[in-house]
Structure 1
Amino acid sequence: MNSVVRHIAIDRRVSEHDFRGAMRQLTGGVSVITAGRGKDISGMTVTSVSSLSVDPPALIVSVNRQASSWPLLQRYGFFGVNILTSDQIDVAERFAGKDGLKGLERFTGAEWTTRASGVPLLAGALAAIDCEVEEIIERHSHAILIGRVLDLQLSTRSAALAYWHGQYVAIDRDEDAVKLAEVSVPFSRRPRTQ
């Protein structure tokens, strides 16, 4: 493994408040990570999913180690990534703990399926991805999960749920592409990169 960990001494400590403010500038797609099997299941809302590679298909997600799903991820070694549509805000809020529901209770009010690993996958999500934990890298309060994609199901829906400045935002591929084209800088006027 070729990993480099550097410890850099910095005179000024960045406050949690300032860091959160900076991260609110970053728009993130909203997903629900699910873990466990049978009735021993839980999940959490995240904006930290990213693709890692296509050969083999793999992704990464950052998970708070204080989350109720963390022990299930460690115990079972599988997880689901459910990329939410713009009309699944209720699912996002439920899995973010807004109404105080925990574990199995968070799955009520939506239709769930399973694939190869047995973790719950949200029917009607833009994409529901079944993953096996390939590696866990623990740092600070979180862990980075590297997940190998075992199976997936795709939706034909076109509106995604994003999170920006502490609010949910709908992004519609068809409607917003037209709006962006109207205000975009023409290709010939874009700065050149080298």
Structure 2
Amino acid sequence: MNSVVRNLTFDRDAPPAAFRNAMRSLAGGVSVITVGRGKDITGMTVTSVSSLSVEPPTLIVSVNRQSSSWPLLQRYGAFGVNILSADQVDVAERFSGKDGLKGAERFTGAQWLTRATGVPLLSGALAAIDCEVEETIERHSHAIVIGRVREVITGSPHTALTYWDGQYVAIDQDEDNLKLAEVSLPTPRALREI
């Protein structure tokens, strides 16, 4: 496969506020990224987690290099991805930094465990994924972090937590499937009479 690289130049970038508003239209699953070991821990709420490969199992996350998590991520070379359920909004809020909590203070009010890398993983998350940093790619204000998955812990199925248009939204598979069935295309008459 041939790839074509073109160097395009434009006079200006899109305004940051317009870009931010456009990205609010993209619903994203809410996760808490945890870093560090022992009492030297912190974390952040993100919607930027995505799978990269199944074999080997790897994922990517975008991390702001000005965040308190960045130095610990670099120091320890590991991180946890904790995929939150809708009843874990309080965890998402604590790790978003809105209430001023920092470092280990963000971990209060929830149960945490550790596995191979030693990073805290949230007990009761939809999934908790223990990752070792494989590579980082620094661009502008952020870094794309590629993580090799070392262990996966899955919780019982719950309603998922997403972030869309500036607010948290719950996605319940059973409930939302029923709603979709109500508004889907009508069943052909012949099938309804059977």
Give 1:170 shift. Answer: 0.4
Is 1:145–2:145 an aligned residue pair? yes
Give the TM-score normalised by the residue count of structure 1: 0.91
The one-letter code sitting in structure 2 at the alignment partner of 1:124 is G
Give the TM-score normalised by the residue count of structure 2: 0.91
d(CA) in 2 for partners of 1:36, 1:46: 17
Is 1:35–2:43 an aligned residue pair? no
Structure 1 gaps, min length 5: 187-194
Is 1:107–2:145 an aligned residue pair? no
The one-letter code sitting in structure 2 at the alignment partner of 1:147 is G
Map 1:19-168 → 2, pairs under 5 A: 19-168=19-168
What is the root-mean-square deviation in Å for CA atoms of aligned residues?
Answer: 1.9
Give 1:4 shift. Answer: 9.0
* C-alpha distance 77-84 of structure 1, shift in aligned 2 (>3 A): same
The one-letter code sitting in structure 1 at the alignment partner of 2:111 is E
> For residue 191 of structure 2, what is the aligned residue in structure 1?
none
**Deviation larger for 154-163 or 136-145:** 154-163
Give 1:179 shift. Answer: 1.2
* C-alpha distance 7-136 of structure 1, shift in aligned 2 (>3 A): farther
Secondary structure in 2 aligned to 1:94?
Answer: helix
d(CA) in 1 for partners of 2:11, 2:185: 41
Give 1:11 shift. Answer: 2.5
Give 1:173 shift. Answer: 1.4
> For residue 192 of structure 1, what is the aligned residue in structure 2?
none
The one-letter code sitting in structure 2 at the alignment partner of 1:150 is R
d(CA) in 1 for partners of 2:74, 2:171: 33
* C-alpha distance 99-8 of structure 1, shift in aligned 2 (>3 A): same
d(CA) in 1 for partners of 2:155, 2:162: 17
Kept in 2: contact 1:126–1:154 (CA 8 A): yes
d(CA) in 2 for partners of 1:4, 1:64: 30
Give 1:98 shift. Answer: 1.3
Give 1:5 shift. Answer: 7.8
Kept in 2: contact 1:33–1:79 (CA 8 A): yes
d(CA) in 1 for partners of 2:160, 2:7: 38
* C-alpha distance 6-128 of structure 1, shift in aligned 2 (>3 A): farther
* Percent of residue pairs bearing the same amino acid type: 75
Give 1:180 shift. Answer: 1.9
Secondary structure in 2 aligned to 1:87?
Answer: helix
Q: 1:77-130: per-residue Cα shift (whole Å, max 9, x none)?
A: 000000000010110010000110000000000000001100000000000000
Kept in 2: contact 1:31–1:82 (CA 8 A): yes
The one-letter code sitting in structure 1 at the alignment partner of 2:150 is L
User: Which runs of at least 4 in structure 1 moved beyond 4 Å after TM superposition?
Assistant: 3-7
How many positions carry a matched residue from both structures? 186
Structure (1 or 2) with the larger CA radius of gyration: 2
**Deviation larger for 117-126 or 177-186:** 177-186
Give 1:74 shift. Answer: 0.3
Give 1:185 shift. Answer: 5.0
* C-alpha distance 164-77 of structure 1, shift in aligned 2 (>3 A): same
Structure 2 gaps, min length 5: 187-194
> For residue 189 of structure 1, what is the aligned residue in structure 2?
none
d(CA) in 2 for partners of 1:154, 1:4: 41
Kept in 2: contact 1:28–1:48 (CA 8 A): yes
